A and B are shown apart, each in its own frame.
Chain A
């Protein structure tokens, strides 16, 4: 069964340690639940029962222009069917943030569901910015693409940023994207007047060609100062098995010509060799025959000494 984005929900908070998001509708056991969490600064996102697929932190040129995007996932269990909401918590106080949550059907995860991902960042002056990053992300099976786009500003935020024209480039046409605007202005600085915004685009497609680029537009109206864009693309593909046979690996042993062999018959070349007798040293004794002078006919041999 092909995967589908069955329902979504979003939430945000100002200068908060945690963000609580309403559960997407109609969660069923074995559904895939995905949370995309954002924050200003360098914090770790967690949510009870969820596992981190990956996280991306960009340390910006100033404190307020830094941020993190984290993707969490969970295989829904029976209790999730009646869960009202989910809370995402940061390990630093008052830095969150925005959260988007997805209920995905057709994928019951026994392992990390994110097939591949890419990350990036860009400076956003007081002008429109088009993101179009080259990537090489294969799609062995059909599935869904998600782009999470954020912006962080290090002072009182005025003006407006809209996120438009989400796209992926491949040999197939750009799929139809759904935009999920989470919040265009939330505080992330623990009272330091840092601001962020967060939007997501997602699209399902039957295409299986490799993604060579992805992007979107930061549509800017009257920013009071330059901001920093932080973003990521990830794919979740329909599960598929793969099986293949090996090519039999064969090798042939080599027999070297041996020395020292003699004889033989048949078609082989007779290999001969000559033994070498080394000169030997030794010692020996010869018995001495004695003669009795008085009885010259009598002789005897001295016994061995």
Chain B
């Protein structure tokens, strides 16, 4: 199930309100196993779900990250470049965006997004062609 994770939203609001500093690290994307179902509350850190990463894949650093205000759709969107991993043999139907602090137990989960179809590369390229609007958005 696609979802924002509660912990990620909490950290974001704490950061903008000055309650706590924003977590720092490297923004990463993980292709997840088809058996994984996101739990918005129970899944907080990468260590909670790393066992459900699609076999044969590794987390990929995302590039050109942007957070854009879409005035036409009244929402704030998270966007970045397409992500490709190669060579890989895997099966995946969803991705998770998280902030890798270098320690899985403190790497906060941001959101889990569905891929439009199950991807099953065989010793080939695995690519997430990020939606033209981005990976995720929060309406306002």
- Identify the A interface with B (CB < 8 A): 107, 109-113, 115, 138, 140-141, 143, 237-253
Contact yes or no, B122 A246, CB < 8 A: no
Contact yes or no, B87 A244, CB < 8 A: no
Residue B30 lies at the interface, judged by CB distance under 8 Å to chain A: no
Given A115-B89, A138-B120, A243-B119, A248:B131 Cβ within 8 A: yes
Contact yes or no, B135 A246, CB < 8 A: yes
Given A239-B123, A239-B124, A240-B121, A250:B91 Cβ within 8 A: no
Residues of B within 8 A of A113 (CB): 123
Q: Give A251 Cβ to nearest chain B Cβ, in Å.
A: 5
Category for how many chain B residues contact A: 35 or more
Partner of A246, one of B88, B116, B139: B116
Q: List 25 A-B contacts (CB under 8 A).
A: A111-B56, A112-B56, A112-B89, A140-B91, A237-B122, A237-B123, A240-B121, A240-B122, A240-B124, A241-B126, A242-B121, A244-B116, A244-B129, A245-B115, A245-B116, A245-B130, A246-B113, A246-B114, A246-B128, A246-B130, A248-B131, A248-B134, A249-B111, A250-B136, A251-B138
Contact yes or no, A111 B88, CB < 8 A: yes
Contact yes or no, B120 A242, CB < 8 A: yes
A246 to B123: give the CA distance in the assembly, Å.
Answer: 22
Residues of A within 8 A of B88 (CB): 111
A250 to B89: give the CA distance in the assembly, Å.
Answer: 30
Contact yes or no, A248 B135, CB < 8 A: yes
A41 to B52: give the CA distance in the assembly, Å.
Answer: 34
Contact yes or no, B131 A245, CB < 8 A: yes
Residue B4 lies at the interface, judged by CB distance under 8 Å to chain A: yes
A238 to B127: give the CA distance in the assembly, Å.
Answer: 18
Contact yes or no, B120 A248, CB < 8 A: no
